[in-house]
Amino acid sequence: MTTTEEGFASLDSYYSEARYNLRWSSVFVLPGWLRVWWQSFGDGAELYLRTVRQGDEIIGIAPLFIRDKTASLIGGADVCDYLDFVPAHGREEEFFSVLLDDLIERGVSNLDLGPLRPDSNVLNYLVAIARNRNYPVLCPEEGVSVELDLPASWDEYLALLATKQRHELKRKLRRLEEAGNVAYRCMEVSPPQVDCFMDTFLGLFALSWEEKAEFMTPRRESFFRSLAKAMAEAKLLRFGVLELNAVTVAMIMGFDYNDTMYLYNSAYDPDYRDLSVGLLSKALCIKASIERGRRKWDFLKGGEPYKYQLGGSEIPLYRCEIRIK
């Protein structure tokens, strides 16, 4: 087996061809996402983007960057909810064994990987291989993510909620409908539409609360805009728009990938806070996702109360540190 240096353009071709049998487990490991993050935040680091191959067969992809002899997955916890490698199905152990040898040969002494889901390739394969080699491994829990398995209908979804939460959600929906003409759209956004939607979304984002305004630095705003364009080109970008009397009062920015709707971020006009427009924009997008036949709604990282009010269940997230030399 050999390792081959790659560019982001070649990753696009590997993603588009099913014959490679690669496990693109979430939206956060897709080529467009990796490319945009690297272009936005990769300054000062060495790109280590490698495939492990056996002849013409790709065994897996390692999307890493290196700083001070420490290799990390491309991405950052502030804008990427969980990360992973991209191995071929059934070739995970071979992939990680070859990858570790190559990293050591190139002078890497530490791996700092995360955030990681419990079902990540890192925790299910790499950790065991590292421990079998007697490498020191630490994998502390570092936060939670929240997700919801979607039923077949809206009525079944409502039945899943606790009695109090179900009654509260119905009451809030009635209050919103009584306040005026309500319109909700959860739609795919094409590349030419991105700037208009992002302008409205970021305007609401700045209004939502002070913490969000502080988060959206010029650099992160540039990342958000570039990411939206990349995901629109991949036909994965979705905006949920809640309007009251033809005024946009809440929006969500998300991604529709692999039968899962990812709630990446949200914003609302605080003048309409009493009508719970932030929460209801998410509930209505859950309804739209059910109607489109999606199987999972991923609220992503963080244990905000509304996620549990809408029926989400938490899973732990981990950070894994491995000393390999």
* CA 285, chain centre distance (Å): 17
Is pLDDT above 80 for 289?
yes
Same domain, 120 and 24: yes
Same domain, 250 and 218: yes
For 167-226, write each residue's pLDDT tens digit: 999 999 999 999 999 999 999 999 999 999 999 999 999 997 777 778 889 999 999 999
**Mean pLDDT in residue range 48-61:** 96
Specify the CATH number for the domain of residue 155.
3.40.630.30
Asked whether residue 65 is assigned to any structural domain, the reply reads yes
Lowest model confidence (mean pLDDT) among 134-138, 210-214, 299-303: 210-214
**Mean pLDDT in residue range 62-68:** 97
Same domain, 133 and 172: no
Is pLDDT above 80 for 33?
yes
Same domain, 168 and 49: no
Same domain, 135 and 244: no
pLDDT band at 16 (very low <50, low <70, confident <90, very high): confident
- The domain tally of the chain equals 2
Is pLDDT above 80 for 323?
yes
Same domain, 187 and 232: yes
Asked whether residue 260 is assigned to any structural domain, the reply reads yes
**Mean pLDDT in residue range 228-251:** 98
Same domain, 135 and 6: yes
Same domain, 208 and 111: no
pLDDT band at 325 (very low <50, low <70, confident <90, very high): confident
- State the pLDDT at residue 88: 96
Query: Mean pLDDT, the chain, as a whole number?
Result: 96
Lowest model confidence (mean pLDDT) among 4-18, 98-112, 130-144: 4-18
Question: Which structural domain, as residue segments, surrounds residue 62?
Answer: 2-143+316-323
Asked whether residue 37 is assigned to any structural domain, the reply reads yes
Same domain, 89 and 155: no
User: CB atoms < 10 A from the CB of 83, how many?
Assistant: 26
pLDDT band at 229 (very low <50, low <70, confident <90, very high): very high
pLDDT band at 105 (very low <50, low <70, confident <90, very high): very high
Same domain, 82 and 129: yes
